[in-house]
Structure formats: structure tokens, C-alpha cells
């Protein structure tokens, strides 16, 4: 049973199907959304990373973090530590393995199916930032939660 303090890392109750999918392109990665509160939450404010204009898209957030020098300042954040480790190796081949699969959730926004990060922001942000810096994209697996009542897209 998940602790109440980590409920935000679990799929919404309406999502009764969880499967493993392959994130096959950088565009798919860049298009992932963070929860609507993340871009303006206390963590982002404390690091002066609130995006302007507001965005939830991972690729745009990664660019904001790079442009504002987040990864140039040593810190103990998981995002920073993963970024430095993966940059040092020069490859993303083993960045996200089977034991590190992020959890993504299918959501309907304005009548369109989008994909939102539920758990894995600490791995996916540095991955997207390193792609912006020129490292080669490598496909990886993720858990996808969705509703059996939703039409496939």
C-alpha cells in the first residue's frame, strides 16, 4: 500500500489499465506534460525556474532550466545529480532502465489526449535537458496508466 505522502506518484483512480510502453522519439518526450501545479510550485519558485510564459511541456521546461543556469550550479536535487552523471558518461543509453521506468498518465485536455508525468520528473527533466545539449536520444520504457473507458488514440 502506498503511503499517503506519495499518493501524487500514483495514477488517478479512473485509470484502471497500466501497461509498459516505449517512448520512441524526442518529440514524444518533449511533449510530455507535468502536473498543472508543478511549473509554479514552491520547488520551482525557490530555484527561480517558474516558466514565463507558463508551460507544462517537458521540452520547454528543460530549455528554461538550461537557459537560467540551473544545471550550472551545484545542488543536491535529483535532477541536477542525474544531469551531471549522464552528461559525464556522454550517453543516455542506460539513463532510464527497467527499474527506473517513469509513470505517465493519459489525460484528456480540451478534447485532446495528452500524456502527463505522474512519477519520474527527476529523471525526465535532465534527460530532456541533455537532449537539448546534443546528446543522442535513446528510446526507453515507461508505465502508461489510462482508463479502459477511454477511446484509444
Sorted by where each begins, the domain ranges of the chain are: 14-146
Nearest CA to 124 out of 72, 69, 62, 70 is that of 62
Cell 485536455 identifies what position? 109
For 58, list phi and psi in degrees, rounded to 5: -60, -45
Query: Whole-prediction pTM value?
Result: 0.89
Kindly give the confidence (pLDDT) of every residue in the chain, 153 residues in length, as a single tens digit, with 9 standing for 90 and above: 444 565 555 566 676 788 999 999 999 999 999 999 999 999 999 999 999 999 999 999 999 999 999 999 999 999 999 999 999 999 998 899 999 999 999 998 999 999 999 999 999 999 999 999 999 999 999 999 998 765 555
Amino acid at each position: 500500500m502506498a503511503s499517503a505522502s506519495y499518493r501524487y506518484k500514483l495514477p488517478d483512480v479512473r485509470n484502471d489499465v497500466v501497461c509498459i510502453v516505449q517512448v520512441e522519439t524526442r518529440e514524444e518526450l518533449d511533449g510530455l506534460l507535468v502536473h498543472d501545479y508543478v511549473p509554479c510550485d514552491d520547488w520551482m519558485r525557490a530555484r527561480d525556474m517558474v516558466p514565463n510564459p507558463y508551460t507544462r511541456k517537458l521540452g520547454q521546461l528543460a530549455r528554461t532550466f538550461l537557459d537560467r543556469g540551473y544545471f550550472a550550479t551545484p545542488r543536491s536535487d535529483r535532477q541536477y545529480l542525474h544531469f551531471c552523471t549522464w552528461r559525464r558518461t556522454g550517453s543516455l543509453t542506460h539513463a532510464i532502465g527497467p527499474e527506473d521506468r517513469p509513470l505517465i498518465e493519459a489525460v484528456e485536455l480540451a478534447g485532446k489526449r495528452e500524456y502527463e508525468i505522474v512519477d519520474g520528473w527527476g529523471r525526465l527533466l535532465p534527460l530532456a535537458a541533455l537532449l537539448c545539449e546534443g546528446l543522442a536520444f535513446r528510446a526507453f520504457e515507461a508505465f502508461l496508466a489510462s482508463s479502459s473507458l477511454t477511446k484509444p488514440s
